[in-house]
Amino acid sequence: MIILYTFISEEKHQSRLDRYLPAFSQEVNQNILRYRRWQDVQLSLLGKVLLQYGLKTYYNISDVETGVLPNKKPYLKDHHLHFNISHSKELAVCAIAEYPLGIDVEFRDPKINYQDFIFQMTARELQKIHDAEDKTKEFFTYWARKEAVIKAHGAGMMLPLDSFEVVNNECRIEEEKFFTREIFIHEDYQGYIASSDQKVKQDVLLFKRFEEEIS
């Protein structure tokens, strides 16, 4: 599995737009530029840049077309590779693998109070967070792990967070089993990957920070 990541930069915002937007279709550009905040525009753009760069660099795939499944999960057309993109605060990440997956990163915002989200937790999860020495870290561990599973499953907002539990990095949704694995990119962020394929548990993860000068 390849996990590419990068950070947004206000100083580089216009130069990044000028450099990378022409590589995508008008429809993709419209989707990127629909955001009001420059941060969201750049995060959206960089997610697509990471995918493009990863496919070209590690899989020798230059021309790729993405589609969207009925459940709104994006996929690569005419290729047996899978990808997933996530971003939070200033970090954008893209994971590419030979099996279906989900990835989620969350900025560990110290201002977040986990008590505001108790309606999205099971009683056991709430107790575990409450008993943790670092409640903020435990809350974002819970959140990123579940979001990664939801993205791997593909149900999106149709699957409530409190409808399943992840125990020992495994969970079951209906008749499908999912496996999760923690990833580390930056000390201020919590990250997880998930898949219905057990390969995710032992797969070698290649982390690569994307820099403009190597693109």
54-98 pLDDT tens trace: 999 999 998 878 888 777 788 888 888 999 999 999 999 999 999
Give one word for 72, left, alpha or beta, with left for phi > 0 and alpha for psi -120 to 50.
left
pLDDT tens digit string along 34-54?
A: 999 999 999 999 999 999 999
Query: Dihedrals φ, ψ of 132, to 5°?
Result: -70, 145
Contact 70, 63 (CB under 8 A): no
Q: Please check whether residue 170 is in contact with residue 176, taking contact to mean a CB–CB distance below 8 angstroms.
A: no
Domains of the chain, CATH where assigned? 2-214 (3.90.470.20)
pTM for the structure as a whole: 0.94
